[in-house]
Amino acid sequence: MSKATRKERVLWFRAKNYGWGWYPVTWQGWLVTAGYAAAFASTFLIFGAWAGAASEAQADLREMIFGVLEFGIVLALLSYSLFKICIRFGEKPEWRWGKK
């Protein structure tokens, strides 16, 4: 493939200058970050409503434990999805101590 026909990879996320992680730099990166934040907040709102209803209904301990586990699994899957997107469309992750 020649340089003229090869499309360069556009990075949605840049690596932070200090520490480990990314920040969004394109509209796609900002859209993914906003979607993650909205899904994360929605999960808290849904779980809060469920927990309030479960406590009023005097749910047993087993139901409460399973509810908390489901909540944790949903948050873990959301975070894992964001991590995989950042790996795919971001700079190589590594610990950084400023500009080289």
Domain boundaries defined on the chain = 26-89
Residue by residue, DSSP assigns the chain as --TTTSPPPPPSEEEPSEES-EEE-SHHHHHHHHHHHHHHHHHHHHHHHHHHHHHHTT--HHHHHHHHHHHHHHHHHHHHHHHHHHHHHBPPP--EES--
Give the chain's residues under pLDDT 50. 1-2, 4-6
pLDDT at 5: 44
pLDDT in tens, 52-69: 776 666 667 777 788 889
Record the tokens describing residue 79, joined without a space. 């975070």
Angle, helices 61-89/27-56, rounded to nearest 10 degrees = 180
pTM, two decimal places: 0.77
